[in-house]
Amino acid sequence: MPLFAANVTMLFTEVPMLARPDLAREAGFDGVEVLFPYDNPAKDWQAALAGMPVALINTHPGDWAAGERGFAAVPGMEGVFRSGFLRAAELASQLGAGRVHVMAGVARGPQAEATYVENLSWAAGQAPDLQLTVEPLNPDDMPGYFLNDFDQAARIVDDLALPNLGIQFDLWHAARIHGNADDVWARHKGRVNHVQIAGFPGRNEPGGGGFDLTGLCAELDRTGYSGWVSAEYIPARATVHGLMWLSALKGRARLIGA
């Protein structure tokens, strides 16, 4: 049965950030992921987690309000990217996070791709025991973001052929970019090292939109997937009142695995 993580940046927002891992544990999640855990000291996170596994963190995006979305593909910002990546890798080590999503940033063109490829290769070499993910983000939600297509991501991952680099399959972004998340999954599942789920088209609780989450979980279990399935969605109401999907998926996964 796959392990389920709560994205505590988006879930359990009814309470302060450091109180959310406890709620995730009580709700039945196996771990958490945090988009940007940089506003609190590592020791405070460690106390808040109390042994709760961390599935993934992101590299620091820079000044979000000013439009920055990371730096891996931004020409001229190699130094900023590399210092930020080392910071993320160190924090991942302190929190026990096995994956870091490397944010590409706002950029385009051949020079941006060359910068991206060079930075990804460098990062993978700096942290060989850390799984790195790249995530295509849809241009409506993330205008100008360099990595905005799963086929583009697959080509880059294949060209680099690094053992600790894979694609982060976010069902929401896959559906928004390509129209059919099932097709994206079928083409690229062999490259995926992290999964995120949400409902479509509203990005609320997982389910609907024609995507078979039960089948996905069964396939992950059957193929020996060692990563996480993370819930990254916008709760339609208080998070704890919309978690029927979690108990249903866990229950069905147990039956399939029995």
Catalytic residues: 135, 232
Cβ contacts of 94 within 8 Å, gap of 6 or more: 42, 45, 46
On whether the CB atoms of residues 60 and 102 are closer than 8 A, the answer is no
Q: Which distant-in-sequence residues (6+ apart) come within 8 Å of 93 by Cβ?
A: 130
CA 108 from chain centre, in angstroms, equals 22
The neighbouring-strand residues paired with 57 are: 34, 100
The answer to whether 88 and 131 are in contact (CB under 8 A) is no
**Which residues touch 233 (CB under 8 Å, ≥6 apart)?**
7, 10, 11, 172, 197, 198, 199, 203, 204, 205, 206
- Give Cβ neighbours of residue 131 (< 8 Å, ≥ 6 apart): 98, 99, 100, 164, 165, 166, 193, 194, 227
Contacts of 190 (CB under 8 A, 6+ apart): none
